[in-house]
Chain A
Amino acid sequence: MIGSTLSLVRTALASPARHPRTAVVLGRLLGLGFLICFGTGLFSHLLQDPLPGMAFLTRPVWLYRLTQGAHVIVGTALIPLLLAKLWTVYPLLFAWPPVRSVAGLLERAMIALLVAAAFVELATGLANTFQWYPWPFRFRETHFALAWAIVGALAIHIGVKLPVIVRWWRRSGSTDADGALLPVADGEGDLRPEPRAKGVTGAIQRRLERAPVPPAAVSRRTVLIGTGLASAAVVATTAGETLPALAPLNVLAPRALRYGPQGLPVNRTAAEARVQRTALDPAWRLVVRGPERSVALSLDDLRAMPQTDAGLPIACVEGWSTQAAWRGVAVRDLADLVGARDREWLVRSFAAGAYSSTVLQREFAEDPLTLIALELNGEVLHVDHGYPARLISPARPGVLQTKWLRSLEVR
């Protein structure tokens, strides 16, 4: 009874585009996309929590802008792609018997994990860019753990399906002379036409099959073009928050390139951080603590030091980024003041919160473009951008570009 009902469901779901070749074409793009997101995500994670002994590239200065921009852009493009891939293989959900062996059970469990983790990863990632957190768990740690689950389940899924993937990888082996997809023979994958049923089931099946079906080529092109255009559309309307070329099309992204004080978006304002009074206090000093001596510098002291200009982007983990012109004191020059070159620093902010103290690794501290910035785009730093002084360094996530500085201490 269940078996014949499910057979009818599969008959109703039949479409010329539901074919292993479609699953392979969409699946390899999806797999590549998830690998790009995994790699760029892992890079971003390690920049924030380096493993012992790890060092990072400080050039090109837009490296993190590129990797994190790609992370969010590709992740957004994966939303239509994932739905299209699942549309293609949806009839397999109604296979009967549901499992034939222990290996089959594991395979289905792996697919369930892969699909669930992929959905939650893309949904929470997208919502995070809008700073909307409707879930009862930590975002960053969960996003990180699910990323490993996705690549793990994906590797197993590819391992299981490898013969089918190889069979339908090339177009030349997948279509006949007229360009129509070849029928799926035994052992070449699922998604084969339903076998003829008898009795009542057979009668309902014939009735379902009498419903009109578009020509195979039209059906397949509709799926591929629809998916491609949908991915292109979601990228075109959001990627302008980091790609200047697409900025005119940006109508759905959480941020706009130059929208914020001094032409730069802000993640946390001075009001949110409750630092306005401290930031504007003339008694403010930046304490630089070396291994043997310390100095406390006023804003005038800092302005009296040699000033360095740096064109560096602010690139946020949320995927937006904006290029800006910064001016201030090179961290290397401050390090010379206390005789602490080639060292790692603990950078403290007078704002409380998750990133109130960050580690400035040696390679960033030694980079001539790493500044204690006092000016932004030709003006005195806006209080929302970290007045009186903030850190800015090349190729690092925005959350590590500590604002409202209090001290730099040699580690």
Chain B
Amino acid sequence: MRAARIALVVLGGLLLVVAAVALVAGVPARQWAGILLWLASAVVLHDAVFAPLVLVGTRILRRFGARTSWAGLAVVQVALVVGAALTLVAFPGIRAQALGARNPSVLVFPYALHLALLWGGIAVVTAAAVLLLGARRRRADGGRGA
């Protein structure tokens, strides 16, 4: 284990040297500040904006879950995660389309519309799943009551 750990750290160090060489050789020095800004912004955006929003959202959702059903909450959370991922992937398409495509065979879909339809589909499936779970639970409760 110790040898493997040392080997991995040494290998990583060597790969970082290659990264530095590739950066120096390939990217003009005046663009390095821009790269650094993007790297730092990515971390700040995630750690200080995105993750806290997820925390607040989760704590609000959990109160609903505690009052209704944890399984129903899980379905809603999965739906939100899938929708958020699709939104992230669709965003460059929406933005690039607003700026104008280079030629008619790039950006071939109406991305904003497709994203809206996907969210609509997710909402319908989620609602159906939550209702189904609720009905099943009421049946199970009714069965115990009888």
Contact = CB atoms under 8 A, between A and B. Distances in A.
B13 A166 contact: no
B26 A131 contact: no
A254 B95 contact: no
Contact of A226 (B19, B81, B89): B81
Contact of A268 (B7, B81, B103): B103
Given A156-B13, A226-B77, A130 B107 contact: yes
Nearest to B98: A132
Interface string A134-148: 111110111011111
B65 A154 contact: no
B: interface residue count bin: 35 or more
B90 A137 contact: no
A115 to B, nearest CB: 6
Contacts of B140: none
A260 interface: yes
Interface stretch (A51-59, A231-239, A303-311): A231-239
Interface string A77-121: 001100100110010010000000000000000101101110110
A160 B71 CA distance: 37
A211 B105 CA distance: 52
A229 B74 CA distance: 13
Interface stretch (A22-30, A180-188, A215-223): A215-223
A214 B58 CA distance: 11
Contact of B105 (A130, A221, A266): A266
B15 A12 contact: no
Contact of A215 (B9, B13, B70, B114): B70
B90 A214 contact: no
Interface residues of A, number: 89
B67 to A, nearest CB: 8
Nearest to B47: A93
Nearest to A156: B12
A287 B32 CA distance: 42
B103 A272 contact: yes
A214 B18 contact: no
A13 interface: yes
A146 B35 CA distance: 10
- Chain B interface mostly: helix
B93 A237 contact: no
Interface in B95-113: 95-96, 99, 101-109, 111
A179 interface: no
A12 B55 contact: yes
Contacts of B103: 266-269, 271-272, 384
B51 A135 contact: no
Contacts of B66: 212
Interface in A251-301: 251-256, 259-261, 265-269, 271-272
Given A152-B13, A214-B62, A233-B86, A256 B55 contact: no
A120 B22 CA distance: 16
A230 B79 CA distance: 9
Contact of A214 (B7, B13, B19, B70): B70
B146 interface: no
Interface string B56-79: 001100110110001101100110
B26 A234 contact: no
B49 interface: no
Nearest to B65: A214
A75 to B, nearest CB: 11
Contacts of B23: 141-142, 145
A148 B22 contact: yes
A53 B50 CA distance: 48
Contact of B51 (A87, A110, A145): A87
A32 interface: no
B105 A142 contact: no
A76 interface: yes
Given A79-B88, A229-B82, A142 B118 contact: no
Interface centre among B50, B71, B78, B104 (most CB of A within 10 A): B78
Contacts of B59: 12, 211
B27 to A, nearest CB: 5
B4 A119 contact: no
Given A127-B92, A230-B82, A254-B107, A158 B31 contact: no
B132 to A, nearest CB: 16
A68 B114 CA distance: 25
A316 B86 CA distance: 23
Given A151-B15, A154-B12, A119 B46 contact: yes
Contacts of B70: 214-215, 218
Given A162-B8, A213-B62, A86 B51 contact: yes
6 contacts: A126-B92, A148-B16, A155-B15, A222-B77, A234-B89, A251-B114
- Smallest CB-CB A-B distances: 7 pairs: A159-B8, A141-B26, A152-B15, A212-B66, A155-B12, A156-B12, A148-B19
